Structure 1
Amino acid sequence: MLTPIVPVPRVLVVEDEEQLARLVAAYLRRSRFDVRTARDGAEAIAVARQWHPDVVVLDVGLPGADGIEVCRTLRTFSDCYVVMLTARVEEVDKLVGLSAGADDYVTKPFSPRELVARVQTMLRRPRVRAAGTAGSPLTVGALALDPAGREVLVHGEPVQLTRTEFDVLLALASHPGLALSRRQIIDAVWGPGWVGDERLVDVHVGHLRRKLGDATASPRLILTVRGVGYRIGAGR
């Protein structure tokens, strides 16, 4: 019997600092990733359209179109994972980067080994499944989720979510009435090996509320539980 060929994960590194790009690419190749590099936004978009990477490691401070703009463009045709690299430590930079559709961020300076570990963890991410339903469709008020088809409907209308947004929503919907801490959501979506700022969850919840039409001032679908985290509500 022939051994099935396992596809090698593809990682596109978008970084204008040539030395850093080579270093990151070398570490990724040692971990048996198929790696390509790009030095600016236009090249990154062109490569991504043609090559279809699984993960894009994307520097925020690119010449020309910055990483945030590149990420927004990527999200118009790809659901690849996106890890943003930023040299700016202000929280607003991180949040703006994630609002463009990024899945995670790493602040410079960073260890290339840490970045590789983050990419590996991302690609090994467990796909959340509703307890005891083996991926059966879920309905919460006007919200309907199909884990198998990875589709979301609100009042019968489809809603486009990134992979991470879908997984966060599914983690909550899989436990109706139960308040989940940020750490529990991270363990379910990013995996227990993930290390970083747990407020990453808050950013994705904010995106979900906006896309689902769940008013930030008085949400009814994704509820904040003070001192704990979030739980799914009855919707409307």
Structure 2
Amino acid sequence: MTRVLVVEDDPQLVRALVINMRARRYGVDAAPDGATALELAATRRPDVVMLDLGLPDMDGVEVIRALRGWTRVPILVLSARQASEEKVAALDAGADDYITKPFSMDELLARLRAAVRRTEDLALVPEATLVETEGFTVDLSAKKVVRDGGDVRLTPTEWHLLEILITNPGRLITQKQLLQEVWGVTQANKSNYLRVYMAQLRRKLESDPAHPRYLITEPGMGYRFEG
């Protein structure tokens, strides 16, 4: 059973989420504040976290950073904040998706299913399980990236993007292909998602993110990996 942790201080919304997810056979835990959320995340080990940013005891971005200190569990932000800088801050902190309130339950459940799919093992059989560049090394079997002698922390979404690109070296992967593979068919036009996540990957892997050596943009078309 897939277990979801809902972090939300609106009891009516929590009740609606719990009813809808349990009806679809998800296990659900709920936390009304950040401190409780972090405690439940450590003890219950959810498969997905749904997180409101406006919590009574701390900002949701702080919760994201705290979780990313030890887990790569998918984090779906549910927030009434619509400013692009708020969304970028949450994604930069390690969130995997951002859903603006009010939202339809059908869309939310579709995003949840997509998050669960992204954490499942990919049916990829790459020719090599270890990809080495001058700047970093990627161990596909261990899902581990090392740069300058240290582990690089990637969110599940960042890892999924990187894995697709490095298992197709030199090949242009279109924006639409990446969006459909990582976020699902319904998000195939959300090119802003790609820009944000590719920027995050470059900051983590490239010595000069503004002039990438490995994660190359083909303007208006897509991205490719040059080993």
Percent identity, please: 38
Q: Which of 200, 212, 219 is the equivalent residue of 2:212?
A: 219
Q: Secondary structure at the match of 1:124?
A: helix
Trace 1:117-132 onto structure 2 (pairs within 5 A): 117-125=110-118, 127-128=121-122, 132=126
8 Å contact from structure 2 (residues 218, 224) kept in 1: yes
8 Å contact from structure 1 (residues 16, 63) kept in 2: yes
Task: State yes or no: 1:65 paired with 2:55.
Answer: no
Distance (Å, rounded) in 1 between the aligned partners of 2:201 and 2:13? 34
Q: CA deviation at 1:180?
A: 1.8
Q: Secondary structure at the match of 1:185?
A: helix
Aligned length: 226
Structure 2 stretches lacking a partner, 5+ long: none
Q: CA deviation at 1:182?
A: 2.3
Task: State yes or no: 1:89 paired with 2:77.
Answer: no
Task: State yes or no: 1:154 paired with 2:147.
Answer: yes
Match of 2:68 in 1: 75
Once the two structures are overlaid, the 10-residue window that deviates more, 208-217 or 184-193, is 184-193
- In structure 2, the CA distance between the partners of 1:38 and 1:132, relative to structure 1 (3 Å rule), is closer
Q: Which of 1, 8, 20 is the equivalent residue of 1:27?
A: 20
Distance (Å, rounded) in 1 between the aligned partners of 2:191 and 2:131? 26
- What TM-score do you get using the length of structure 2 for normalisation? 0.90
Q: CA deviation at 1:146?
A: 1.7
Distance (Å, rounded) in 2 between the aligned partners of 1:112 and 1:170? 31
- In structure 2, the CA distance between the partners of 1:129 and 1:218, relative to structure 1 (3 Å rule), is farther
Match of 2:129 in 1: 136
Structure 1 stretches lacking a partner, 5+ long: 1-7
8 Å contact from structure 1 (residues 71, 101) kept in 2: yes
- What TM-score do you get using the length of structure 1 for normalisation? 0.87
Q: CA deviation at 1:132?
A: 5.0
Q: Which of 150, 158, 175 is the equivalent residue of 1:182?
A: 175
Distance (Å, rounded) in 1 between the aligned partners of 2:124 and 2:214? 17
8 Å contact from structure 1 (residues 13, 37) kept in 2: yes
8 Å contact from structure 1 (residues 11, 55) kept in 2: yes
Q: Give the aligned residue type for 1:77.
A: W
Q: CA deviation at 1:61?
A: 1.4
Q: Give the aligned residue type for 1:54.
A: D
Q: Secondary structure at the match of 2:191?
A: coil
Task: State yes or no: 1:52 paired with 2:51.
Answer: no
Q: Which of 17, 28, 37 is the equivalent residue of 2:30?
A: 37
Q: Secondary structure at the match of 2:129?
A: coil
Distance (Å, rounded) in 2 between the aligned partners of 1:151 and 1:190? 22
Q: Whose helix proportion is higher, 1 or 2?
A: 2
Q: Secondary structure at the match of 1:166?
A: helix
